[in-house]
A and B are shown apart, each in its own frame.
Chain A
């Protein structure tokens, strides 16, 4: 690990008119670290994620990102061209609904290859070889490479979306409920896969989830949000085993036991 964070967030707030989206959120994210943001729906975690990934502009506050050259750049001061370039090279965004993150009418191979072509790859054979490699890494059979994602199951779509995001070797991945809407066995395999990839590639990730088990499995650190504010943050195991804020205690005790 380096001695500088990858992302510095300071006093980030987003208001929708007079309503609070998220308020006064500050944290540092280090390279290779997975941060989970948990909380009930409406607690502002998706707003926070969208602000961080520059899909939304915050009302106030700053976020600076350490670029590959080691320089910190303030995200909201970058030009749109730079931000979009960052989003398709150094970042990934895994949507809850794979249809939002995939091109449903082009083949799986082209979905994985799109980012490569966007950064200037012009060799069909190499693009296809990379796509094959990534499909196997997310456990999709090679003979499905020319099928459209429409013909894929929910779990396969989600894995394809992950491959599409990771193909350019990003350093930071945003995930919005990556296991939402999947049944438990598929969820377990996806989590296993994600955990492997994150460790192998040394990815930093910010994972938004309402599922504390997902947070426990994937993340080292977590933030608990309620009504747009961070009520508690700390190491994942500490927060889940010894919740301090009353809301976190409620959340932890609400987990269904099987």
Chain B
């Protein structure tokens, strides 16, 4: 199966060769069979630098089919460099349909957010992971951390949370907040804000994590228990925002701070651009939304 003919080069469907895709699929299947376990895989060089989502791209390339509809987000936004480039990449090498609509996508590759729109069964969320090992900054030896996972020695993870409370009076970790999967493996949810941790718990969507530089893949099958670690007297809680989105007035969503001028002006807007635009189309208006709602130009993504 090949992509559409071009005059420069012809890629195999979805860029990777079929043997590589089979190798990655085996790692994914193993990851799904052992939720939260980091499966080593032979990560390939991709036409992008490490740290730009090579792990996520390889996972997506291995599972994508001609009928799939792909959405790519970067910190929740569909229109940032990373998201636009990866979407264009797969449009070119797999000739698949792309969308910014969370509900219409079958595969969503994400960097550091889970969409606000609830995911449904049949959807796959692919995370780009920089450092898959949650214990890495506490125990630098890979041999030792693997042993700790094998023997379920996770006291050290709580040492980190203890240090947070001792220093800041509360658990100050706000992203890459460690979770325990199915009561067994402690897992790094990739640097998503801890706001998104509850969305992982018993999600009907399949969640796959790819770390290209670190050569690890792990997975959460649908409806997996994902519990954020905490102390009995300092329970896990997510960030709250004291104002709604300035553009669409959404509450209980994750907001980004946007600087407006050089005089301290700023506003908080939805980090999930698709969610924000949908709400504005439906007539929701925040206090900083333009007076006359602009005709939200229907951009074809990734031109």
What is the interface of chain A, defined by CB distance below 8 A to chain B?
80-81, 84, 88, 103, 106-107, 109-110, 113-119, 122-125, 127-128, 145-146
What is the interface of chain B, defined by CB distance below 8 A to chain A?
147, 151, 153-156, 158-159, 162-163, 165-167, 230-234
Residues of A within 8 A of B162 (CB): 109-110, 113, 117, 124, 127
Residues of B within 8 A of A81 (CB): 151
Q: Is B155 a contact partner of A118 (Cβ separation < 8 A)?
A: yes
Q: Is A110 a contact partner of B233 (Cβ separation < 8 A)?
A: no
With the chains together, A116 CA to B158 CA distance in Å?
Answer: 10
Take A80-B151, A81-B151 as given contacts and tell me if A122 and B158 are in contact as well, using a CB distance cutoff of 8 Å: yes
Residues of A within 8 A of B166 (CB): 107, 109-110, 128, 145-146
Take A117-B158, A123-B232, A123-B233 as given contacts and tell me if A106 and B151 are in contact as well, using a CB distance cutoff of 8 Å: no
With the chains together, A125 CA to B154 CA distance in Å?
Answer: 19
Minimum Cβ distance to chain B for residue A105 (Å):
9
With the chains together, A113 CA to B166 CA distance in Å?
Answer: 12
Q: Is A124 a contact partner of B234 (Cβ separation < 8 A)?
A: yes
With the chains together, A81 CA to B150 CA distance in Å?
Answer: 9
Minimum Cβ distance to chain B for residue A125 (Å):
5
Take A107-B166, A109-B162 as given contacts and tell me if A115 and B155 are in contact as well, using a CB distance cutoff of 8 Å: yes
Contact of A106 among B147, B154, B163, B230 (CB under 8 A): B163
Residues of B within 8 A of A123 (CB): 231-233
Residues of B within 8 A of A103 (CB): 159
Since A106-B163, A118-B153 are in contact, a sample of 12 more A-B pairs with Cβ atoms closer than 8 Å, ordered by chain A residue number, is A80-B151, A107-B166, A110-B166, A114-B155, A117-B155, A117-B158, A122-B232, A123-B233, A124-B162, A124-B165, A124-B231, A127-B162
Take A107-B163, A109-B166, A110-B163 as given contacts and tell me if A122 and B231 are in contact as well, using a CB distance cutoff of 8 Å: yes
Minimum Cβ distance to chain B for residue A211 (Å):
33
With the chains together, A124 CA to B147 CA distance in Å?
Answer: 26
Minimum Cβ distance to chain B for residue A129 (Å):
11
With the chains together, A124 CA to B153 CA distance in Å?
Answer: 18
With the chains together, A123 CA to B232 CA distance in Å?
Answer: 5
Q: Is the interface of A mostly helix, strand, loop or mixed?
A: helix
Q: Is A110 a contact partner of B159 (Cβ separation < 8 A)?
A: yes
Total cross-chain contacts (CB, 8 A) = 54
Q: Is B159 a contact partner of A106 (Cβ separation < 8 A)?
A: yes
Nearest-CB residue, chain B, relative to A105: B138
- List 15 A-B pairs, Cβ < 8 Å: A81-B151, A84-B153, A106-B159, A107-B163, A109-B166, A110-B159, A110-B162, A117-B158, A117-B162, A118-B153, A118-B154, A122-B230, A123-B233, A124-B162, A146-B166
Q: Is A124 a contact partner of B167 (Cβ separation < 8 A)?
A: no
Minimum Cβ distance to chain B for residue A72 (Å):
23
Minimum Cβ distance to chain A for residue B231 (Å):
4
Take A110-B162, A110-B166, A114-B159 as given contacts and tell me if A125 and B153 are in contact as well, using a CB distance cutoff of 8 Å: no
Residues of A within 8 A of B155 (CB): 88, 114-119
Minimum Cβ distance to chain A for residue B156 (Å):
7
Residues of B within 8 A of A125 (CB): 233
Residues of B within 8 A of A119 (CB): 155
With the chains together, A88 CA to B233 CA distance in Å?
Answer: 24
Take A113-B162, A127-B162 as given contacts and tell me if A146 and B233 are in contact as well, using a CB distance cutoff of 8 Å: no
With the chains together, A118 CA to B156 CA distance in Å?
Answer: 7
With the chains together, A146 CA to B233 CA distance in Å?
Answer: 19
Minimum Cβ distance to chain A for residue B21 (Å):
36
Most A C-beta atoms less than 10 A away, residue of B151, B154, B162: B162
With the chains together, A121 CA to B155 CA distance in Å?
Answer: 9
With the chains together, A128 CA to B232 CA distance in Å?
Answer: 13
With the chains together, A141 CA to B228 CA distance in Å?
Answer: 34
With the chains together, A8 CA to B90 CA distance in Å?
Answer: 66
Q: Is B159 a contact partner of A117 (Cβ separation < 8 A)?
A: yes
Residues of A within 8 A of B234 (CB): 124
Residues of A within 8 A of B154 (CB): 118
Residues of A within 8 A of B147 (CB): 80
With the chains together, A146 CA to B163 CA distance in Å?
Answer: 8
Nearest-CB residue, chain A, relative to B230: A122
Instruction: List the 5 closest pairs (A to B, CB-CB), nearest first.
Output: A118-B155, A117-B158, A124-B231, A117-B155, A123-B232
Residues of B within 8 A of A118 (CB): 153-156
Most B C-beta atoms less than 10 A away, residue of A84, A110, A119, A123: A110
With the chains together, A39 CA to B165 CA distance in Å?
Answer: 46
Minimum Cβ distance to chain A for residue B4 (Å):
54
With the chains together, A88 CA to B151 CA distance in Å?
Answer: 13
With the chains together, A116 CA to B231 CA distance in Å?
Answer: 13
Minimum Cβ distance to chain A for residue B182 (Å):
18
Minimum Cβ distance to chain A for residue B19 (Å):
36
Minimum Cβ distance to chain B for residue A85 (Å):
8
Q: Is B233 a contact partner of A124 (Cβ separation < 8 A)?
A: yes
Minimum Cβ distance to chain B for residue A132 (Å):
12
Residues of A within 8 A of B231 (CB): 122-124
